[in-house]
Amino acid sequence: MAPFTREQLEACVRHARPNLDAGPVLERIGTGKFNTSYFVEADGEALVLRIAPSRDAVFCFYERDMMKQEPGLHAVLRERTDVPVAEVVAFDDSHAILPRDWLLMERLPGVPLSDGPPCDADRILEATGRCLAQVHGITAEAYGYLGAHRPMQPQETWAEAFRVMWTSLLADCAGVGHYDAAEVARLTRLLDERLEAFDRPVPARLLHMDIWSQNLLVGPDGGLSGIVDWDRALWGDPEIEFAVLDYCGISRPAFWRGYGRERDTSSQARVRGVFYFLYELQKYIVIRHGRSGDPSAAARYKREAMRIVQEAFG
């Protein structure tokens, strides 16, 4: 059970909607894997309340306080794209009501694609591709995790940013006891020896970094009605987003039709792709050991990562 009382949850809603006639109806959302979330019905308005994890939880370096960047991201996306993104109604990091950051947003229609609603999956993936192409059209002047949570210093090049990200994640894996100093040094050296593959004039593009079936909503008409969970967003090379799509089974032909651009298949792109896939994979070492309390699962992710390293680089 989450350590929140009914009174605390209602206070969050009333903070944003102080003139409610009746107490809000709250329903716990069971699918959340990071935040604690509730569907909210408040005087006929459908909302979602999301509550960040406790600050003493185990995080990957970019996860701590990452909810702080969502209001700004949602505003930019709603202003500059037609991607179905919820309006954020309120965000609070004062911890005056709850001892955690929380936000309240509109509830988009539909259910997650992972729930198996009746729909044409290719239609959803093609629409996702069109949306992600718009997202990738938004650029910044620096690279990395640039949100208000600032887990790293912005970098002037993507190669510099990815090296910071890579070594930070290796440190996280070591922090939960699954990489020793020699393994960290080896994996750092592997990247350094191939860093020129990342040193190219790619714009710092906005990336979602968590596109999978649970974060794609299917509306009553069978179309894409929402893309949710933008808190892992970063600014950089879209190829790292493609690695997440590969991992999550999204990068199918229908997606690429919607995306409308060819994927780089050069030898250097393949090198980048290995590191990007490993970046996605290795986060589960931290998540499974530190948050799920399952060190055996974390060890399996490590073995898979080392198998990929061996096959790719010897």
Interval 227-236 mean pLDDT: 97
pLDDT at 152 over 90: yes
Q: What is the pLDDT of residue 2?
A: 58
> Per residue in 17-26, pLDDT tens?
999 988 899 9
Contact 142, 155 (CB under 8 A): yes
Percent of the chain with pLDDT over 70: 99
Q: Which residue has the higher pLDDT, 3 or 227?
A: 227
C-alpha–C-alpha distance, residues 236 and 251, integer Å: 19
DSSP annotation of 288? I
pLDDT at 39 over 80: yes
Q: Decide: helix, strand or coil at residue 233.
A: coil
pLDDT at 307 over 90: yes
Interval 144-161 mean pLDDT: 96
> Per residue in 80-115, pLDDT tens?
999 999 999 999 999 999 999 999 999 999 999 999
Q: Decide: helix, strand or coil at residue 94.
A: coil
Interval 133-155 mean pLDDT: 97
Q: What is the pLDDT of residue 33?
A: 74
Q: What is the pLDDT of residue 1?
A: 44
C-alpha–C-alpha distance, residues 288 and 58, integer Å: 10
pLDDT at 304 over 50: yes
C-alpha–C-alpha distance, residues 43 and 66, integer Å: 30
Contact 39, 131 (CB under 8 A): no
Percent of the chain with pLDDT over 90: 92
Average pLDDT score over the chain: 95
CA 56 to each of CA 100, 188, 289, 290: distance values in angstroms, whole numbers, following the listed order: 11, 28, 15, 11
Q: What is the pLDDT of residue 252?
A: 96
| Res. 226 pLDDT band, cuts 50 70 90 | very high
Pair type for strands 139-140 and 204-207: antiparallel
